[in-house]
Amino acid sequence: MSDYIDSKGLAIVSLLQKDGRMSVQDMAQALGLTRATVSKRMDKLETSGVIAGYTAVVRKDFFHKKIRGWVMITAVPNKEEKAIVDMKLIPEVSKIYTTNGRWDLGVEIRAADLESFDAALSKIRQVRGIESTETHLLLSSRIG
């Protein structure tokens, strides 16, 4: 299966990235194509896996998770992927990054309060495949 898409396909993807709820009619009008063409191309992009799904972007403060922090993790060799799968099930885990250097993973936690943050941290530390952690609370944002 090829990941190659032409300029019209790229334009459709670009429009959807900016507004995932944009109607087929509006896309067709913006691109100078027919609705049928846009619809057919969207089906092809979805079938080929270029468009893997649609999601809602929720305002950062919606869930009132004001306590944020990073957990830097050293994983047990060859157990990293299983640890990632297990951590995805912890609701307070908002992002998981692989890293290089001293740590194997960087995990962002968002919690409503310090007690919830501590509970999430405890869950992470119990995940099989986690060797050690170091936690950093985020105090303020200087950009964004």
The residue to which tokens 């990632």 are assigned: 84
Nearest of 85, 95, 91 to residue 129 by alpha carbon: 85
Domain spans of the chain, in order of start: 7-47, 67-138
**116-144 tens-digit pLDDT:** 999 999 999 999 999 999 999 999 888 76
**Element spanning 105, H or E:** strand 105-111
Give the up-direction half-sphere exposure of residue 32: CA atoms within 13 A in the CB hemisphere.
2
**39-83 tens-digit pLDDT:** 999 999 999 999 998 888 777 666 677 899 999 999 999 999 999
Domain 7-47 - what CATH class? Answer: mainly alpha
Give the CATH number of domain 67-138: 3.30.70.920
Rounded CA separation 92/11 (Å): 35
Is residue 82 a contact partner of residue 128, using CB atoms and an 8 Å limit? yes
**82-96 tens-digit pLDDT:** 999 999 999 999 999
**Secondary structure class of 13 (helix, strand, coil):** helix
